[in-house]
C-alpha cells in the first residue's frame, strides 16, 4: 500500500509535497466503484506477476475532476514474488473531454441529418408537425414533452414580428404550454434573443431555468412552466423566415 510518486504526480493529485502518499489516500479521491477497480487491477498484477493499467477519475478538494490513466510493470524477486509495481500516471482529462464533445457533436449532427431528410419529404404543416413529433419523441424518451410548430410573420426587412401556433402536440394531455391559434410577440418570447441571433443553426437550452444566456425573467418563465430543456429550430425558405419549432 505504499506509494512513491514524483513531484509532478503530487500536482496531479493536489497533495501537499510533504504528505506521505498511500493508496488509501489516493482512493479517497475516487468513487467507490473506481476505487474497487483500481485495487482489483493492482491485486491481479501482484498475484499473477503481470503488467497492468487502469483509468479512473478523481475529485479534487476544489470540486474539479481529473481523469487519470495509470500503467505499470510488475517487478519480482528471484522467487517470482512481486515486490513492486513501477509505472506512469498520465492526466488524460483533456482527451476525455474532447472525446465527450466529439460524441455530443456527432449525436447532434445525426439528429439534424435525420430531421432534415424527413422535413424535406413533408408536404404540409401537418406533415412537418408529425415529423417533428416523431423525431423529438426519440430524443425526449419517456419524459413529458411538447412540440409546437409556429408560423412567423416578418416585417419588410425580414425580421420576425410574432409567432402564431399552427401545430401542437404534447405527450401529456394535462400539461400544455400552448394552444393552436395562440400568437406570441417576439419580444415576449423567452429565449427569443438567442434564436434570433442564430438564424442558421439550432439553439439548445439544456437547462432552461438556469442558462446564463437568459435573463432572470426568462429563467423564471421556464421555471414557472416547469420546462427543463428547450430546442429552437428555424424554418427558412429562400433565405427568409417562415417558421419556428
User: Is the model's pLDDT at 141 over the cut of 90?
Assistant: no
Q: Across-strand partners of 86? A: 73
Q: What is the pLDDT of residues 163-190, one digit of tens each?
A: 888 878 777 777 777 788 888 888 888 8
Confidence of residue 135 (pLDDT cuts 50, 70, 90): confident
Centre a 10 Å sphere on the Cβ of residue 70 and count the other Cβ atoms it contains: 19
C-alpha closest to that of 231 among 130, 162, 140: 140
What is the reported pTM? 0.54
41 in helix, strand or coil? helix
Residues 210/219, Cβ–Cβ less than 8 Å: yes
The model's confidence at residue 112, banded by pLDDT at 50, 70 and 90, is confident
Tell me the average pLDDT across 20-45.
Answer: 92
Residue 140's pLDDT is 60
Residues of the chain with pLDDT > 70, as a percent, come to: 96
Phi-psi region of 24 (alpha: psi -120 to 50; beta: other; left: phi over 0): alpha
Is residue 169 within a helix (H) or strand (E), and if so which, with residue range?
A: strand 160-170
pLDDT score of 223 more than 80:
yes
Nearest residue to 75 (alpha-carbon basis) of 62, 84, 66, 65? 84
Q: 234-237 and 203-205: which strand pairing?
A: unpaired
User: How far, in Å, CA of 235 to CA of 120, rounded?
Assistant: 11
Residue 44 backbone phi and psi in degrees, to 5: -60, -45
Tell me: pLDDT of 194 over 80.
yes
Q: If we measure between CA atoms, which residue out of 51, 54, 68, 56 comes closest to residue 10?
A: 68
The CA distance from 144 to 138, in Å, is 12
For the cut 90, the answer to whether the pLDDT of residue 210 exceeds it is yes
Distance in angstroms (rounded) separating the CA atoms of residues 181 and 165: 5
Residue whose C-alpha cell is 394531455: 173
Among the listed residues 96, 15, 7, the one whose alpha carbon sits nearest the alpha carbon of residue 61: 15
Report which of residues 133 and 139 the model is more confident about. Answer: 133
- The set of residues, in sequence order, having a beta carbon less than 8 Å from that of 38 and lying 6+ positions away, is 27, 30, 54, 56, 70
Q: Residue 78: helix, strand or coil by DSSP?
A: coil
Question: Helix (H, G, I), strand (E, B), or coil: what is residue 77?
Answer: coil
For residues 24 and 35, what is the distance between their CA atoms, to the nearest angstrom? 9
More confident residue, 35 or 154: 35
Cell 476525455 belongs to 96
DSSP 94: H
Q: Is the pLDDT of residue 240 over 80?
A: no
Amino acid at each position: 500500500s505504499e506509494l512513491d510518486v514524483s513531484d509532478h504526480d503530487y500536482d496531479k493529485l493536489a497533495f501537499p509535497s510533504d504528505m506521505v502518499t498511500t493508496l488509501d489516500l489516493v482512493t479517497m479521491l475516487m468513487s467507490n466503484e473506481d476505487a474497487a477497480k483500481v485495487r482489483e487491477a493492482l491485486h491481479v498484477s501482484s498475484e499473477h506477476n503481470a503488467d497492468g493499467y487502469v483509468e479512473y477519475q478523481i475529485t479534487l478538494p476544489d470540486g474539479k475532476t481529473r481523469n487519470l490513466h495509470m500503467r505499470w510493470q510488475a517487478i519480482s524477486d528471484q522467487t517470482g514474488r512481486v515486490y513492486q509495481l513501477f509505472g506512469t500516471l498520465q492526466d488524460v482529462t483533456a482527451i476525455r473531454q474532447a472525446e465527450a464533445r466529439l460524441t455530443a457533436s456527432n449525436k447532434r449532427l445525426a439528429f439534424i441529418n435525420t430531421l432534415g431528410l424527413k422535413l424535406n419529404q413533408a408536404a404540409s404543416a401537418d406533415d412537418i408537425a408529425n415529423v417533428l413529433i416523431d423525431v423529438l419523441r426519440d430524443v425526449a424518451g419517456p419524459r413529458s414533452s411538447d412540440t409546437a410548430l409556429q408560423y412567423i410573420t416578418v416585417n419588410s426587412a425580414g425580421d420576425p414580428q410574432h409567432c402564431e401556433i399552427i401545430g401542437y402536440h404534447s405527450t401529456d394531455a394535462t400539461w400544455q404550454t400552448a394552444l393552436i391559434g395562440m400568437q406570441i410577440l417576439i419580444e415576449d418570447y423567452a429565449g427569443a434573443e438567442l434564436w434570433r441571433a442564430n438564424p442558421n443553426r439550432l439553439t439548445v437550452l439544456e437547462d432552461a431555468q438556469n442558462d446564463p444566456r437568459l435573463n432572470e425573467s426568462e429563467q423564471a418563465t421556464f421555471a414557472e412552466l416547469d420546462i427543463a430543456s428547450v430546442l429552437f429550430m428555424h424554418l427558412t425558405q429562400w433565405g427568409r423566415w417562415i417558421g419556428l419549432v
